[in-house]
Amino acid sequence: MRYYMKSALKPNKKWILAAIVLLLGLVVLKIALLLTAKPKVTTDYVAQYNKLTLPANYDPNDNAAEDYQKAYDAFVEMPGHLRGSWREWPNYFNDADRNTFEQWLASNQQALEYFKTASHKPYYWLERHEPEGMANLVISELNPLDCLVEAAGWEAKLYASQGKLSQAFEYIIDCYRSGRHKCRTPSLLIEQLVGLTLIEKTLTDAVSIIDRTEIEPENLKRFQDALQEEFKRGTYVIDFEAEKLIQYDILQRYFAYNKNGTGRLDWNTVKGTRSECGILYECELFLRCLFGPTSNEMVKRINKKYASFEPLKTETPWQLHVRDPGYFKRVYSNSEYCDGSIVDTFSGPDPVFHRHHQTNARKEALLTILAVHRFRADNGALPGSLDELVSDGYLQHVPLDPYSDGPLIYRPIEDDFILYSVGGDFTDDGGTIKEVDISQSWMGFKGAVKSQSSDIVYWPVKRPDKNSG
């Protein structure tokens, strides 16, 4: 009996041993394939980006690119000692610095002429070239464009300080158009963000001019009408199509290539990319290369992630807050959308989303400020409400607050008025601004920063502190 049982066990041991050997062979084969398979660039996503962003019925004569480049080439940077957070009006300079300031603007007259010509073109399109792919694409024009808009804004304020309001308002319109050039979609989110920032900066300069100069009612109306016409052109809607191309391009450069799309993260490509993260991260990365999602699965994840951004095209911050208060937290924390930090370099849509709605509110606020000043000049008193401005023909509609379910808040106060949005905390704090520490993430940088929380006050204008630098 014992002999029979011993004989019966022998074949089972052989099968187990064979299974173990087969399993080890498969693991060795998988590791061999992992070490030998390579990514393959099959699609030129930079070319796709160029095709995606090319304006419809493109005409080189309508493209502002050449005039902007001439302006960049002719531009002279502002002397560093003239800069300062409180120096936002020409009269804030002492005599010596004022002379240097005016000389600087005079040296940029040719650049500003090119800038003015460029701003009147319908679009600004540049053909991109980058053999290393979308992730390495350098949008080199953003900083010089920002410098040009800053100089044009200073030119507007200098004209205003000299009583030349028509010329000042022309430059404000030019700066707005330049910002709108970068808000043309589809485009990368960094381009959209810079465009919105330029517009917001321009609108702030316009309010500064209204605050610091005496403007006749007819000039106020002329400026308001011109702004309303500009605001109607080229409605901006946040767009993610160009940004998605970055993800696809990274995917093809980091995942092993095969025709059926089952290749996984390539070890030879990613090893050592995050050496500062330590050995545990390296082991995790190696396991992801062996058993992680395939390139097909990653495409599905990328598409799912970007589909989740669709509400940002149609909803205001208030609507999103009411419907889904944890939306952005979920977007950042949901690991199913990414593959560690190698493939997914996208930092989130909220900076552009909030800047878009804040800029729209600032446009409405500027029109409202002009309307209130016109009303007071015509009637000798402030309007009692925003509805009164609309009913008397000073405003086309009551300006809505994207951070509440109502309009921007307006109240007469003594011989002035206050106009504000309740801001990103969705709470009316009576028109006060508090600085708080918040966690901010943009383009991979995270940390505590000082930010204006609570209400966003458009009027009265807070004058800068000359001791702030």
Q: Please determine, for residue 442, whether its predicted confidence score (pLDDT) is greater than 90.
A: no
Q: What is the pLDDT of residues 222-251, one digit of tens each?
A: 999 999 999 998 789 999 999 999 999 999
pLDDT in tens, 292-323: 899 999 999 899 989 999 999 999 999 999 99
Share above pLDDT 90 across residues of the chain, in percent, rounded to a whole number:
69
The candidate with the shortest Cα–Cα distance to 422, out of 405, 404, 410, 436, is 404
Own/partner contacts of 437-441, CB < 8 Å, gap of 24 or more, are: 441/332, 441/347, 441/348
Give residue for tokens 């073109």: 121
Tokens of 91: 């009269």
| pLDDT tens profile 375-416 | 999 999 999 999 999 999 999 999 999 999 999 999 999 899
Specify the pLDDT at position 446. Answer: 35
Q: For 50-65, how does the pLDDT look when each residue is reduced to its tens digit (9 = 90+)?
A: 999 999 999 999 999 9
Residue 298 belongs to a domain: yes
**Confidence category of residue 468, pLDDT binned at 50, 70, 90:** very low
pLDDT computed for residue 386 by the predictor:
98
* Residue that has been written with the tokens 């383009």 in this structure: 443
CA distance 135 to 193: 17
- Could you tell me which residue, 341 or 373, shows the higher pLDDT? 373
Averaged over 329-345, what is the pLDDT? 58
Amino acid identity of 76?
Answer: V
d(CA 349, CA 316): 13
* Interatomic CA distance for residues 210 and 215, integer angstroms: 7
Question: In 120-164, which residue ranges form alpha helices assigned H by DSSP?
Answer: 142-161
Q: How many domains are contained in the chain?
A: 1
Tell me, what's the pLDDT at 3?
47
For residues 205 and 175, the answer to whether their CB atoms sit within 8 Å is yes
Least confident of 15-24, 141-150, 295-304, 332-341: 332-341
- The larger pLDDT score, comparing residue 13 to residue 224, is at 224
Residue 308 belongs to a domain:
yes
- What tokens appear for 259 in the block? 């025709």
**357: Cβ contacts below 8 Å, ≥ 6 apart:** 316, 317, 402, 403
Q: What confidence category does residue 337 fall into, taking pLDDT thresholds of 50, 70 and 90?
A: very low
Handedness of CA 399, 149, 447, 237 (dihedral sign): positive
User: What is the β-pairing status of strands 416-421 and 409-413?
Assistant: antiparallel
Chain mean pLDDT for the chain:
87
* Least confident span in 26-35, 115-124, 196-205, 346-355: 26-35
CA angle 77, 172, 395 (to 5 degrees): 155
Give the residue with greater pLDDT, 77 vs 432. 77
Of 306, 288, 300, the C-alpha closest to 261 is 300
Asked whether residue 370 is assigned to any structural domain, the reply reads no
CB 160 within 8 A of CB 88: no
* Alpha helices (runs of H) in 383-422, residue ranges in sequence order: 386-391
Rounded average pLDDT over 252-274: 85
**Is 236 a member of any domain?**
no
Q: How far is CA 380 from CA 214, 230, 376, 377, 383, in A?
A: 15, 29, 5, 6, 10
Q: How many CB atoms lie within 10 A of CB 371?
A: 23
Per-residue pLDDT, 438: 41
- Separation between Cα atoms, residue 198 and residue 224, nearest integer Å: 19
Q: pLDDT higher for 15 or 440?
A: 15
Q: Identify the bridge partners of residue 451 per DSSP, sorted by sequence position.
A: 436
- Is 309 domain-assigned? yes
> Is residue 339 predicted with pLDDT exceeding 70?
no
Is the dihedral angle over the CA atoms 83, 424, 232, 459 positive or is it negative?
Answer: negative
Q: How confident is the model at residue 9 (pLDDT cuts 50, 70, 90)?
A: very low
Q: Collect contacts of 103-111 with beta carbons under 8 A, ≥24 apart.
A: 104/76, 104/78, 104/79, 105/151, 105/154, 105/155, 105/158, 107/76, 108/74, 108/75, 108/76, 108/151, 110/74, 111/70, 111/71, 111/72, 111/74, 111/75, 111/76, 111/148, 111/151
* 371 located within any domain: no
pLDDT at 29 over 80: no
Closest Cα partner for 248 from 43, 453, 52? 43
Mean pLDDT of 358-377: 97
Quick one: DSSP state of residue 171?
Answer: H
Q: Which residues pair with 436 in a beta bridge?
A: 451
**pLDDT for the residue 448:** 35
| Cβ atoms within 10 Å of 80's Cβ, excluding its own | 6
Q: CA 208, 213, 218 angle in degrees (round to 5)?
A: 105
269, part of any domain: yes
Q: Among 54-58, 158-162, 238-242, 429-433, which is the least confidently predicted range?
A: 429-433
Has residue 382 been placed in a domain? no
Bigger pLDDT: 86 vs 368:
368
| Residues of the domain holding 261 | 256-342
CA quadruple 177, 182, 186, 189: dihedral sign:
negative
pTM of the model: 0.87
Q: Do the Cβ atoms of 300 and 262 come closer than 8 Å?
A: no
Looking at residue 291, its pLDDT comes to: 84
The predicted pLDDT at position 450 comes to 40
Q: Taking the CA atoms of the chain, what radius of gyration do you get in angstroms?
A: 29
